[in-house]
Each structure stands twice: as structure tokens, then as C-alpha cells.
Amino acid sequence: MLKRINWSAIFTGFAWLISLAGVVVLLSFINVKKQTVKCTDVKILIPGADNFIEREEIDAILKEDQGVLLGRNLENINIHKIEKKLQSNPYIAFAKVYVDMDGILNIEVKQRQPIVRILNETGQDFYIDNDGLKMPTSSNFTANVLVATGHISEVFGSRVDTLHTKLARDLYKTAQYIKKDTLWDAQIEQVVVDQQNDMELIPRVGNQRIILGNADSLEKKMNNLLIFYKKAMPQVGWEAYKTINIKYTNQIVCQRRDSTEIARNLKRLSKMDSVRVQQRVSDSLVKDVIAAAIKKTPVQTASATEVKRTEPRKLEPQKPEVKKTETKKTEVKKVENKTEPKKPVVQAAKAKETKKEENQKATTKAKPVLSAQELKKQKEAREKEIRALEKQYKTQQN
């Protein structure tokens, strides 16, 4: 009995042969195209905001290693050699180089991301990146990262290298944990290593040292510190403790400040507050004077000299009006003298009183904006208010 023919296997094998032949033809076509196509442009992409290496430096590396690339055949450009050369740079973590059929050479560069800056005992200065590798500092860019100082024995050689000491690995682990947490990244600004190789955290808010010890049980220690910040600090105040020791996983040991030291800090604050109050009072006085001057001067005036010139102009039209009223009243007197001879004395007294009232109105209009005596009185009143506020503040502190 004849076996049945497996047509599906035959068709699959035939399809694989056709696809393999197509790939060979395509590669040959690309090879022929490469021989004819020349490099027309070089595009360099450096993602990220931290520019430890610039485009000009990459151009210099390419010229030193490959020479001039523009105008050369793509077949004569060694892409793998360019990648190796770029990755040997201490600021470049990864480099990808590829060519388009249009003759464009594309270079993508990924920079190293530092997380902590080390200043060791010998005065060396270097970074530790996300991968736990040491990298040098750059004259082009300074990264805004955590700074570690003190008794650090880790040294930096001439090339990118791994960490050798346990302390350096603890610093890397601590910096990595702080970088991931937004709260601690904003609060912790420096790490100091003391003579016992204990790490001390320096916060931005608060004037105390946080003794961390090593990086063992780091998450539990930082959770204990967070609970202490939420429950204890609002009750005792941010200036109550000198040190906060969280190196023990099950407890927090704190050292209080002296009452004299706290009093000194409060006195400094009271002096600053009094200065601020005086500044506010002086600013309010100036604002009151300016507001009064603006209300009583026309819109076109812009300086003190112009105000002085405009003030007599307001008084000039008032003087002839007073004279006109006097002449009218004298005419009335003449008419009344013809009819009633006994009344001119009373009318003359009334005319004198009207003159006094009009002179008083004119003088009130011609007064300056604010006299020197009024300003002195206002300043004395404000100074009394300041002294009363300072007495209240001192009594509250006591």
C-alpha cells in the first residue's frame, strides 16, 4: 500500500526556499547599492538634558578615527568600529550607528546618568552612575545630584571602573534609594562619612544630623525616620534635636539641644522679625504719601517739581473771584446807604467774616500734600506700634 504524500510539508519547504532566495537577492541588491551610494550627511542624536558630551566632541572623535565621512562610499565606512570608539568614551553608556539608503549616517548616543558625587579623602572628585560604575567629572556640565564627603577611601583610576570598597557600595545603594523617592530626594542634600564609617544624612529642612550607619535595612530605617517626622517633629519643633540616630532598625535615639542654643536661635528670629516689621511700616508710610500725592495732583504730573509748579496755578483763578465778590458787596452797600443808613456796619462785619472764610478755604487748598510735622507724627505713631509688637513677641517667648 503506497504512503500518502504530505503536501503541507512540501509547500512549507518550498516557501522557505523562496524566502531564502529573496533574502539573498535583497542582500546582493543592498551590497550593490552600498557601493554606489555616498555619505551625504551625519546626524547625531543625544537624548536627555544632561549634556556631558557635546556634538562637537563626537565630530572630533569621528574625524580622528575615520577621517572625513561626507562624500565617502558607505561601503568604506566601518560602522562597528565607530560604535566601539564611541562606547570607549567615559560619558557614553551606549552608542548605535546605522546608515540609511539615502546616504545619511545616523548616530544615537546614550549618556551615563550619575546619581551621587564623591569627594574622597585624597581630594579626588568623581561620580557614580545608575549602573554602579565610576565616571569622571566634566567641564561642560555639572549634575545636580547627592554629594558624599568625609572619610571615603574609594579612589578613581584613569578609566571607568566598578566599586571596590563596601562603603562606596553603601553610598551607591543609599543614593539610589534617595533618588527613587521624591520626598527624600528633595529633603536630603548631602551624605557625610564620619571616622567610624557611619553615614550621616544632612537635610535641607531642619538643623540636625541624621545618623544612618550603613545601608543595611535601608528601607526600614527611612520608614522609621518618616514616622518620626510626622508624629514627633510637629510636637517638639524642628530645632529641638541635635542628632537623630536611626542606625538601629527597631529604635530611634535622639540627642536634644541645649536650651541656651535654642534661645539664641529664637533671638535671631526675633531680630529678623523686628527688621521685617520696620520695613513693612516704612513701606506703608511711603505708599500712603504716594497715594495722597496722586489723589491731589493732576494726571499729567510725573515728578515733585511739576507738582510744585501746578499748585500756584490752582490758586491764581481763586484770587480774582474774591475781588469780584468784594466789589459786588461794596455796590450793595452803596445801594443800601441810599435807603437805610444804619445797616452798613453790620454788612461790613459780614463781609469781613466772608473774607476770612474764603482766605481759610484758599489756604487749605494751597497747603502741601503732607507737612513735615504730620509725617513726624505718623512715624512716631508707627514706631510706638513697632515697640508694642516687639514687647508682645518677647513676652510670648518668655
> Is a pLDDT exceeding 80 seen at residue 299?
no
- Please state the rounded mean pLDDT for residues 12-21: 83
Among 66-75, 165-174, 182-191, 303-312, the least confident range: 303-312
CATH class of this structure's domain 114-257: alpha beta
> Is a pLDDT exceeding 80 seen at residue 318?
no
Q: What is the pTM of this model?
A: 0.57
Higher pLDDT, 256 or 374: 256
Among 20-34, 112-126, 200-214, the least confident range: 20-34
pLDDT of residue 313: 46
- Please state the rounded mean pLDDT for residues 315-319: 45
In one letter, which amino acid is 82? I
Higher pLDDT, 51 or 393: 51
As a whole number of angstroms, the distance between CA 107 and CA 85 comes to 12
Angle at 104 between CA 101 and CA 108, to 5 degrees: 115
pLDDT band at 206 (very low <50, low <70, confident <90, very high): confident
As a whole number of angstroms, the distance between CA 178 and CA 392 comes to 43
- Please state the rounded mean pLDDT for residues 153-169: 88
As a whole number of angstroms, the distance between CA 113 and CA 190 comes to 18
Residue 123: name the closest of 78, 96, 99, 155 by CA: 155
What single-letter DSSP state applies at residue 133? Answer: B
As a whole number of angstroms, the distance between CA 234 and CA 257 comes to 16
Among 154-168, 217-231, 267-281, the least confident range: 267-281
pLDDT of residue 325: 41
> Is a pLDDT exceeding 60 seen at residue 94?
yes
- H helical segments located in the chain: 7-36, 55-66, 79-87, 166-180, 182-187, 218-231, 233-236, 259-296, 304-315, 318-339, 344-366, 372-397
- What the block records as the C-alpha cell of 112 is 551615563
pLDDT of residue 303: 40
pLDDT of residue 51: 80
Higher pLDDT, 226 or 298: 226
As a whole number of angstroms, the distance between CA 49 and CA 141 comes to 10
pLDDT band at 165 (very low <50, low <70, confident <90, very high): very high
Does residue 148 contact residue 163 with C-beta atoms inside 8 Å? no
Residue 71: name the closest of 31, 100, 40 by CA: 40
Q: CA end-to-end span of the chain, whole Å?
A: 115
Give every CB contact of residue 175 below 8 A, 6+ residues apart in sequence.
115, 116, 128, 145, 146, 148, 191
Higher pLDDT, 202 or 267: 202
Does residue 16 contact residue 54 with C-beta atoms inside 8 Å? no
Looking at domain 41-111, which CATH architecture does it have?
Roll (3.10)
pLDDT of residue 315: 43
Mean pLDDT of the chain: 75
- Please state the rounded mean pLDDT for residues 187-216: 91
- Please state the rounded mean pLDDT for residues 275-295: 58
- Please state the rounded mean pLDDT for residues 250-270: 68
Give every CB contact of residue 127 below 8 A, 6+ residues apart in sequence.
112, 114, 115, 116, 117, 118, 134, 135, 136, 137, 143, 145
The percentage of residues in the chain with a pLDDT greater than 70, rounded to a whole number, is 66
pLDDT band at 276 (very low <50, low <70, confident <90, very high): low
pLDDT band at 288 (very low <50, low <70, confident <90, very high): low
- Please state the rounded mean pLDDT for residues 251-263: 75
> Is a pLDDT exceeding 90 seen at residue 78?
no
Q: What are the boundaries of each domain within the chain? A: 41-111, 114-257, 267-392
Three-class DSSP category at 153: coil
Higher pLDDT, 27 or 34: 27
> Is a pLDDT exceeding 50 seen at residue 322?
no
> Is a pLDDT exceeding 50 seen at residue 82?
yes
- Please state the rounded mean pLDDT for residues 18-27: 78
> Is a pLDDT exceeding 80 seen at residue 48?
no
As a whole number of angstroms, the distance between CA 235 and CA 222 comes to 20
> Is a pLDDT exceeding 70 seen at residue 174?
yes
Find the helix packing angle between 344-366 and 304-315, rounded to 10°: 170
pLDDT of residue 116: 95
Write out pLDDT tens, residues 343-380: 444 454 455 556 556 655 554 444 445 566 777 788 78
pLDDT of residue 329: 42
Residue 98: name the closest of 58, 45, 146, 51 by CA: 45
> Is a pLDDT exceeding 50 seen at residue 316?
no
